[in-house]
Amino acid sequence: MSLLSGLEKFGLGGDEEFNILDDGKEKKTRPEQKVVKKEEDIPEEKDFLMDRKIECPVCYKEFKIRSVKSTKVKRLEPDADLRPKYKYIDTLKYGVSACPNCGYAAMNQDFEHVSSSQRKWIKEAICDNFKPLDEPDMETYTYDYSVDKYKLALVSAMAKHAKLSEKAYICLNIAWLRRAQMESMPDNTPFFKKKKEAVETEYEGFYKQAFDGFVQATQTETPPYAGMDANTVDYLIANMAMHYKKYDVAAKLVSRLVTSNSVNRRMKDKCLDLKERIIEESKKG
């Protein structure tokens, strides 16, 4: 055993023989060691998250939320209906801030914007009935947990008489989350098959609410609609209409977008692709 054994924990190779009389002038020839490249670590969802504190605009209590490090995420090609996608993480799961003290919740971009009248309505409809729960200790949010937060945001939006477009956008986000959940679930066991059926039912319900909501919002509100301009929402509705085989609605919106001078080249190309899909799908009936 080497007299220097025990130094391994310091990375100093205590298995070598040594002699204090060795002045280093004569070096023993050691076999050349191959450098083994370390395999690059694949990032995990938790690597893109951080905790930060915010103050509730209704009860004025401070609480912690899990937030996405936006500078680290890499955007991927979105779904046809504009559902955003990122590499290694589903950022939609972290799109809502929900106060664990009073129950008020909203999309992150809308959370702080509460008028005095809305605060009163929220307190009466939400806070007076809310039962605080201990926040679960989890590194990342599950889809079910995130959907619960979005549902809190939806009832808060209804309580504060938010614009229809805001409520429709929350419903759309819930549908997107349920779609992503379905994509990640196996269906090779009775449990998961039953769970997937329940998730799909909720997906269809919220998607329909979102579709009807945006259609009506474009007729009763002025843009922007939940932060989106009129062209983006028309393109969104056209794609959603395809889900319900409303090809006439989709075709009408696409034709307007293609001929509009306010639509950029990239969106026009997407509309032309959608136009081809409308023709193909409509032939199938």
Distance CA 166, CA 207 (A): 14
Pair (131, 214) in one structural domain:
yes
Using CA atoms, how far residue 11 sits from 8, 14, 251, 260, 271, in Å, is 5, 8, 68, 67, 60
Q: Is position 67 within any domain?
A: yes
104 within some domain: yes
Instruction: Give the domain extent around 254.
Output: 229-285
Q: Read off the DSSP letter of residue 47.
A: G
pTM: 0.84
Q: Can you tell me which residue has the tokens 């309505």?
A: 121
**Do residues 210 and 115 both lie within one domain?**
yes
Is 99 found in the same domain as 81?
yes
Cα within 13 Å of Cα(141), Cβ side: 28
The answer to whether residue 8 sits within a structural domain is: no
Same domain, 82 and 163: yes
Same domain, yes or no: 204 and 257: no
- Answer yes or no: is 95 within a domain: yes
| pLDDT, the chain, mean | 89
pLDDT tens readout for residues 218-253: 999 999 999 999 999 999 999 999 999 999 999 999
Q: In this structure, are 215 and 121 located in the same domain?
A: yes
E strand residue ranges, 69-219: 75-76, 85-86, 96-98, 105-107
Same domain, 97 and 166: yes
Could you tell me if 270 and 182 lie in one domain?
no
- Give a yes or no: residue 250 inside a domain: yes
Quote the pLDDT of residue 18.
53
User: What would the pLDDT profile of 119-139 be if each residue is shown by its tens digit?
Assistant: 999 999 999 999 987 778 899
Number of domains in the chain: 2
